[in-house]
Amino acid sequence: MFHMGWFLGFGFGSYGWNQQWSGNAAADLANPQLFVDLATSLERAGFDYMMLEDSSVIPDTFRGTMEESLRAGIVRMDPMPLIPLLAAATQHLGLVATAATTFYPPFLAARLLTTLDHLSHGRVGVNLVTASPDAAAQNYGLAKHYEHDLRYRMADEWVQAVTALWDTWEPGALTLDEESGMFADHTKVHRADFDGEFYKTRGPLNTVPSPQGHPIICQAGGSPAGMDFGAKHADTILASVAGADGMKRYRDDISRRMIGFGRDPKDVKVLFLVEPVLADTDADAIEKKRRMDAANQGNIEASLMRMSYISGLDWSKFALNEEIPDLTGKHNGHQSVVDDFLAASAGKTLREALASQRRGTSSVQLVGSPDTVAGQMDEAMQEAGGDGFLVALPVTRKNITEVCDGLAPALRRRGLIREEYLPGTFRDNLFAF
C-alpha cells in the first residue's frame, strides 16, 4: 500500500479562472467551498492529506512588471485561516498549510499550529519553506532575501525554537483536577528560554498541548541544504524528480541523510509529484495528453516567467538563440531547480533548453483510464521505492472527480491505498503503514 496527497500549487488561490472547467470563477474567488469540496472528496478517496502551497508576492521579476502575473490571476489568500473550515467538513484528512520560516516568528507559528491542531482534532501539518523572492523579504521589512544556504541554517534553528515551545508543557501538566481546583501543574510547565544565533523566545506557550503535540512537518527542498533540512526535521517530504531512477536516487539520498542525523528512514514518508492524465479509455487519455502537450508547446513566455520566479532573475533579458549566460552564484531562489535546468542546458541555446525541459512536475508519466493509471502507479512505486504520490492537478471539480471517484477506487480495488482510516490523528494515519 502507498500514501496519497494532493498538492494545491496555488495554495488558497485561483486555479485557471477563465478555463473550460474552472467553474464560476468570478463568484468563487476566495470562496472556501471549492476547497471544502476537495477536502471531503479526498477523504472519500482515502487520501492522507492535502497540502496548500503559499507565497506572499505577486511575481514581478519577469520584465520587471506584474502584468503577466495579474493577467494569469496569480494571487493567494492566506491558507492558515482556511484550515478550520476544512477541518469542520472532514474527520480524518490531514490538512497541511505552508509557512515561511524566514518570516514567521517562532512563537507566532508554534501558537498558531497548536491552536489549529486543536481545531482540527489533531490533523494539522505545516509545509516549511524558506521562501525565495526578494519581494517577499521586502514585504517583511528586509532589504533583500537572505542567501540560500543561510536561510536553511536559520530554518533549522527556527524548528528547534518552535519545538522547544511545543515542549514547554510536559506530559501530565494539564491536570484539570476539579476537586483540588488545579487546572495545570505549574511544576510541569516551563519556559523555553531559547537563545539561538537567529531566534530568541521565552515561552512557555499559553495554550494547552495539542492532540499531536508536534504537528506534522512537511518539506520539499531539493538542494543539499534543503534535503538536509528535510532529512533532519520532516515527517513527510515532497519531491518532483524525473523518472523511476530519479525517484529511487532521491529516496536513497534522503534515507542516507536521515541515518546521518540519527533518524530511522522509516520515520519519513516521501511522496512524489504526479499529474495523472485520466479519461474514460486509454485512447481518450492519450489523445487528451497530446492536446495538452500541443497547447503547452512553444509557450516560451510561460517558461521564462517560471524561471524568472524561481531564480529571482529576469529571463526576458537573455537572448533566446544564445546559450544561457553563466549564472553561477547569481541566483538565490529555488536553487536546485535552477541548477538542474542549467546542467541540462549545457551546449543548448535558451530556446532549445526550454523546448527540451521536462514538462510539468510529474515524476512519472501517468496516462490512461483510471485502472491503467492505477497499474502504472503500482509499477512505479515498486520500481522506485518511496511511500506514495502527491497529485498536483489544478483544483477543478472535474479533476477532483476524476481522481477521487475514478482513480482512487481503481487503486483501492488493487489493494494499493487504504480502505479506511484509523481513529486518531494525522500522524497516526500517516505512519499506520
Ligand X SMILES: Cc1cc2nc3c(=O)[nH]c(=O)nc-3n(C[C@H](O)[C@H](O)[C@H](O)COP(=O)(O)O)c2cc1C
Q: Smallest gap, in angstroms, from Cβ of residue 176 to ligand X? A: 38
Q: Does 223 bind ligand X (CB under 6 A)?
A: yes
43 touches ligand X (CB under 6 A): no
Q: Does 54 bind ligand X (CB under 6 A)?
A: yes
> Which residue of 220, 305, 416, 430 would you call a contact of ligand X, by CB under 6 A?
220
Our finding on whether 273 is near ligand X (CB under 6 A) is: yes
For ligand X, which stretch binds (CB under 6 A), given 156-164, 187-195, 222-230, 403-411?
222-230
Told to check if 368 binds ligand X by CB under 6 A, we report: no
363 part of the interface to ligand X, by CB under 6 A = no
Smallest gap from Cβ 192 to ligand X, in A, equals 26
Q: Which is nearer to ligand X, 90 or 335 (CB)?
A: 335
335 binds ligand X per the rule CB under 6 A: yes
With beta carbons less than 8 A apart as the criterion, state whether 7 and 392 touch: yes
Cell of 123: 490533523
Q: Out of 13, 209, 221, 406, which residue is the one contacting ligand X (CB under 6 A)?
A: 221
Q: Distance (Å, rounded) from C-alpha 199 to C-alpha 105? A: 8
Distance CA 117, CA 136 (A): 27
User: How far is CA 220 from each of CA 236, 252, 306, rounded to the nearest angstrom?
Assistant: 9, 15, 18
Cell, residue 299: 509557450
Binding positions for ligand X, 4-23, rule CB under 6 A: 7
Pairs from 348-354 (Cβ < 8 Å, separation ≥ 24): 348/323, 349/320, 349/321, 349/322, 349/323, 350/315, 350/318, 350/319, 350/320, 350/321, 350/322, 350/323, 350/324, 351/300, 351/320, 351/321, 353/324, 354/300, 354/303, 354/304
Which residue lies nearer to ligand X by CB, 126 or 407?
A: 126
Q: Which amino acid is at 291?
A: R
Task: Name which of residues 76 to 105 contact ligand X (CB under 6 A).
Answer: 98
CA 239 to centroid of chain Cα atoms: 9
Closest to ligand X by CB, 203 or 333: 333
By beta carbon distance, the residue nearest ligand X is 226
**Three-class DSSP category at 109:** helix
d(CA 246, CA 384): 8
Which CB sits closer to ligand X, 238 or 410? 238
Q: How far apart are CA 341 and CA 404, in angstroms?
A: 33
Is residue 269 a contact point for ligand X (CB under 6 A)?
Answer: no
Instruction: Select the span of 127-135, 195-203, 246-254, 371-379 touching ligand X (CB under 6 A).
Output: 127-135
Residue 127 CB neighbours (<10 A): 24
Nearer to ligand X, 221 or 276 (CB): 221
- Give the strand pairing for 277-278 and 388-391: unpaired
In this structure, what is the dihedral angle of CA atoms 38, 125, 52, 113, given to the nearest 10 degrees? Answer: 110
Does 336 bind ligand X (CB under 6 A)? Our answer is yes
Tell me the number of residues near ligand X by CB under 6 A: 21
- Of 169 and 315, the one with the shorter C-beta distance to ligand X is 315
Least distance in Å: CB of 124 to ligand X? Answer: 16
| Smallest distance from ligand X to CB 74, Å | 13
Sign for the pseudo-dihedral over CA of 161, 97, 4, 92: positive
Report the binding-site residues for FMN.
54, 98, 148, 152, 223
Counting contacts by CB under 6 A, is residue 129 touching ligand X? yes
Q: Which residues pair with 95 in a beta bridge?
A: 50, 124
Torsion of CA 315, 316, 319, 322, to 10 degrees: 30
Closer of 54 and 402 to ligand X (Cβ) = 54
160 counts as binding ligand X under rule CB under 6 A: no
- Cβ at position 293, least distance to ligand X in Å: 22
Closest to 207 measured CA to CA, from 184, 236, 230, 224: 184
Helix, strand, coil content of the chain in percent (nearest 5): 45, 15, 40
Task: Please identify which residue in 122, 125, 203, 226 interacts with ligand X, judged by CB under 6 A.
Answer: 226
Helices (H), 211-334: 224-233, 243-260, 282-296, 300-311
Decide if residue 271 touches ligand X (CB under 6 A). Answer: no
Residue 342 CB, nearest approach to ligand X (Å): 13
Q: Is 55 among the residues that bind ligand X (CB under 6 A)? A: yes
Annotated binding site: 54, 98, 148, 152, 223
CB of residue 127 to ligand X, shortest distance in Å: 6
- Among positions 131, 274, 279, 417, the unique one binding ligand X when judged by CB under 6 A: 131
Q: Are 232 and 155 contacting, i.e. CB atoms less than 8 angstroms apart?
A: no
**Which of these ranges, 205-213, 281-289, 312-320, 332-340, lies near ligand X under the rule CB under 6 A?**
332-340
Distance CA 344, CA 348 (A): 9
Which residues here bind ligand X, judged by CB under 6 A?
7, 53-55, 98, 127, 129, 131-132, 220-223, 226, 238, 240, 273, 334-337
